[in-house]
Amino acid sequence: MPVPQAALRRAAGALRGRVVVEPDAGVRHDDGREEEQTGGEREAPCEPVDDPGHQRLSYQSLCRRSRRRAGAGSSSARRKIGSPSRSPPWRRAARPVQDCAPMPYDDLLGRVVTLPIRRFGPPGAFLSPDPGDLRPNAPVLLLPGGEVPDGAQEGDELEVFVHLDSEDRPIATARRPKVALGEVAFLEVTDVARFGAFVDWGLPKELLVPHAEQTRELRVGQRHPVGLLVDRTGRLAGTMRVSEMLRDKGEFDLDEWVDGEAWRNEPGLGLFVILERRFVGLVPADEPHALARGEAARFRVTSVLSDGKVELSLRGHAHEELESDAQTILARLARPGAPRVGDRSSPDEIRAIFGLSKKAFKRAVGRLLKQRAVAVDSEGFLVPERR
Measured in degrees and rounded to the nearest 5, phi and psi for residue 311 equal -110, 150
User: Where is 112: in which H helix or E strand?
Assistant: strand 112-121
Separation between Cα atoms, residue 94 and residue 67, nearest integer Å: 8
| Burial call 74-88: b when 16+ CB within 10 Å, e when fewer | eeebeeeeeeebeee
Do 260 and 281 meet the contact criterion of CB atoms below 8 Å apart? yes
What residues does 113 pair with on adjacent strands? 160
Strand order in 207-210's β-sheet? 207-210, 196-200, 184-193, 223-230, 236-239
User: Which top CATH class is 257-313?
Assistant: mainly beta
For position 320, what pLDDT does the model report? Answer: 60
Question: How many beta carbons lie within 10 A of that of residue 149, not counting itself?
Answer: 11
The CATH-assigned architecture of domain 318-384 is: Orthogonal Bundle (1.10)
User: Where is 358: in which H helix or E strand?
Assistant: helix 358-370
Cα-to-chain-centroid distance, residue 154: 33
Share of the chain above pLDDT 90, in %: 40
Confidence of residue 104 (pLDDT cuts 50, 70, 90): low
Domains 112-173 and 257-313 share a fold: yes
CA distances 156 to 107, 128, 159, 162, 202, Å, are 21, 11, 10, 17, 25
Half-sphere exposure of 4 (CA within 13 A, CB side): 9
Separation between Cα atoms, residue 226 and residue 207, nearest integer Å: 10
Kindly report, residue by residue over 230-271, the tens digit of the pLDDT: 998 889 999 999 998 999 888 888 888 899 999 999 988 999
The CATH-assigned architecture of domain 112-173 is: Beta Barrel (2.40)
Cα-to-chain-centroid distance, residue 377: 54
Stretch among 3-7, 192-196, 377-381 having the lowest mean pLDDT: 3-7
Do 263 and 271 meet the contact criterion of CB atoms below 8 Å apart? yes
* Maximum pairwise Cα distance, the chain: 107
CA distances 324 to 87, 299, 319, 327, 345, Å, are 46, 17, 10, 5, 21
Higher pLDDT, 282 or 67: 282
pLDDT surpasses 80 at 6: no
pTM above 0.75, yes or no: no
Mean pLDDT taken over the chain: 76
pLDDT surpasses 80 at 364: no
Residues with Cβ < 8 Å from 178, sequence gap 6 or more?
Answer: 185, 187, 200, 201, 202
Kindly report, residue by residue over 123-160, the tens digit of the pLDDT: 999 999 887 887 888 889 999 999 999 999 999 999 99
Domain boundaries, the chain: 5-76, 112-173, 257-313, 318-384
- Helix (H) and strand (E) counts in the chain: 5, 20
For position 250, what pLDDT does the model report? Answer: 80
Kindly report, residue by residue over 313-338, the tens digit of the pLDDT: 887 765 566 677 777 777 877 777 77
Kindly report, residue by residue over 45-66, the tens digit of the pLDDT: 333 333 333 333 343 444 454 4
Do 105 and 119 meet the contact criterion of CB atoms below 8 Å apart? no
330-336: list long-range contacts, CB under 8 Å, 24+ apart. Answer: 330/368, 330/373, 330/374, 330/384, 333/374, 333/382, 333/383, 333/384, 334/384
Three-state SS for 16? helix
